[in-house]
Chains A and B, each alone.
Chain A
């Protein structure tokens, strides 16, 4: 039941408790209680919105930064990751297994200059960071399972 709730909320977190209950064959109250449980257990960490940034007036650019890092004794990469994630500009921080680099950081900024500045002044200067490699994102087609670029066309029933 929990995994079904998670799946449905991942598709649409704004679904009402009544609708969720209908879909799963439980009452709205039961659905609400299950969600509360998932939140209290720290499984659901939050709810967000997926945007088409091209349609917003504020200019936005995203970049993925690959960081090579010196791990610290006993603490590995955790301390440095925690330092990085405190910045508002940072959207996500992930530890990678590639070997080519260690941390993947997604950074959001107003323009290229702002992001480049953030990387060189803030990230690159943190103790333990050996190198940075910045990749600007030109276009997002799909995020968290949602199509951003276009609607899927349904050709059924046309013939």
Chain B
């Protein structure tokens, strides 16, 4: 008999499974559950994008493409970044088209870390950063943000976490799960602090198109930051293209020329059909995106006021498609809250603790669902809270 425990690496065995998955798996075995858990749009990919993909299937050979991505797409990407942020990248030497934003994050972590190097992970945050760092033998150092600061990162949060081994700061804004954003004013002191260091910023801006009330601002716009930043974005959230698996990174040429080797050997190239379609997304879907943002905004306002009305204080998120209400008043941990909500009132939400210790006391509610769905879920949550109230008496 083969002993699989001996076959597998210690590194991989030590990586914890995602805390998001756990609740989906339970919910999947139950009847009549309403989920508020997913992190992908409920909209279909805009038709013009799908049509472009169909045309590729009809008219082209589906082949490998250049390692770093199709040139027209890389050009569309650099044009986009320049238009949005006024920052220029060379499509030939400074861009890699990746298999989702996740691969871009993985490339940066793998390309920059030696064992023992430290990575500052701003939390609460999406679940992939720390495990990817650990797989490289790196050390994830959590940098908690706080509700008092609207879950924004401040220099004070950062200062005593930096050591001589700090290589990367992961900056995930607009933030999953909190919905927090960073404005120019918020980012300036961070940039000021970083300019004297060798720390590379990995700015994960996958939710950049989904902001409410103000335009997204990127740290690459600030003086001296382009040279010390890897910019990551993708098509999944903005264009409802999760299943197309397409993201990208833009970074100074010396970084791209090295880390593109990982992509070259490990992936070869991103999906050809998706890449062709993505050019259309960047060129002609601004109106479609605006329409989706409008819909998300209606749902966002509804949920924020409903949660506040029900007595679960809810911070006003200005980006992404999540609300992050505080459940501390119930006396339950976020894991207990979600478990009971699921088993007793059949609503699946994700405990804040799945996104780092600083997420404890909160739950993540996705509004990538129809209003009808959200209203039904809120009704159930209301009943659940009434029951908890009864128990206290």
Chain A residues packing against B (C-beta within 8 Å) = 4, 8, 11-12, 15, 19, 22-25, 154, 156-158
Contacts and interface: CB of A to CB of B under 8 A. Distances in A.
B68 interface: no
A11 B298 CA distance: 13
Given A156-B38, A156-B40, A158-B28, A19 B375 contact: yes
Interface stretch (B46-54, B175-183, B300-308): B300-308
B35 interface: yes
Given A12-B371, A12-B372, A158 B301 contact: no
Contacts of B40: 156
A150 B38 CA distance: 22
Contacts of A158: 24, 28
Contacts of A15: 375
A157 B37 contact: yes
Interface centre among B40, B302, B305, B306 (most CB of A within 10 A): B302
Contacts of B24: 157-158
Interface residues of B, number: 18
Given A156-B40, A158-B28, A23 B372 contact: no
Contact of B306 (A4, A8, A22): A22
B42 interface: yes
A154 B298 contact: no
B299 interface: yes
Contacts of A156: 35, 38, 40, 42, 368
Looking at A8, A19, A22, A156, the one whose CB has the most chain B CB atoms below 10 A away is A156
Nearest to B28: A158
A23 B371 contact: yes
B35 A24 contact: no
Contacts of A154: 35, 42
A76 B37 CA distance: 57
A23 B38 contact: no
Interface string B301-325: 1100110000000000000000000
A132 B280 CA distance: 48
A23 B301 contact: yes
Contacts of A25: 301
B371 A8 contact: yes
A145 B305 CA distance: 27
Contacts of A8: 298, 371
A157 B39 CA distance: 8
B127 to A, nearest CB: 14
A144 to B, nearest CB: 14
Nearest to B378: A19
B42 A23 contact: no
A24 B298 CA distance: 6
A23 B299 CA distance: 6
A4 B298 contact: yes
Contacts of B305: 22
A15 B379 CA distance: 13
A114 to B, nearest CB: 35
Nearest to B35: A157
21 contacts: A8-B298, A8-B371, A11-B371, A11-B372, A12-B375, A15-B375, A22-B301, A22-B305, A22-B306, A23-B298, A23-B301, A154-B35, A156-B35, A156-B40, A156-B42, A156-B368, A157-B27, A157-B37, A157-B38, A158-B24, A158-B28
A25 B305 CA distance: 9
Nearest to A159: B24
Contacts of A11: 371-372
Contacts of A4: 298
A156 B35 CA distance: 9
Report, nearest first, the 7 A-B pairs whose CB atoms are least far apart. Answer: A22-B305, A157-B38, A156-B38, A23-B302, A23-B298, A22-B302, A157-B24
Contacts of A19: 302, 375
Given A22-B301, A156-B40, 12 more contacts: A4-B298, A8-B298, A22-B305, A23-B299, A23-B301, A24-B301, A25-B301, A154-B35, A156-B38, A157-B27, A157-B35, A157-B38
B294 to A, nearest CB: 8
A69 B301 CA distance: 51
A25 B212 CA distance: 12
A14 to B, nearest CB: 10
Nearest to B308: A22
Contacts of B299: 23
Interface string B1-39: 000000000000000000000001001100000010110
A145 to B, nearest CB: 11
A23 B304 CA distance: 9
Contacts of A12: 371-372, 375
A51 B273 CA distance: 42
Nearest to A152: B370
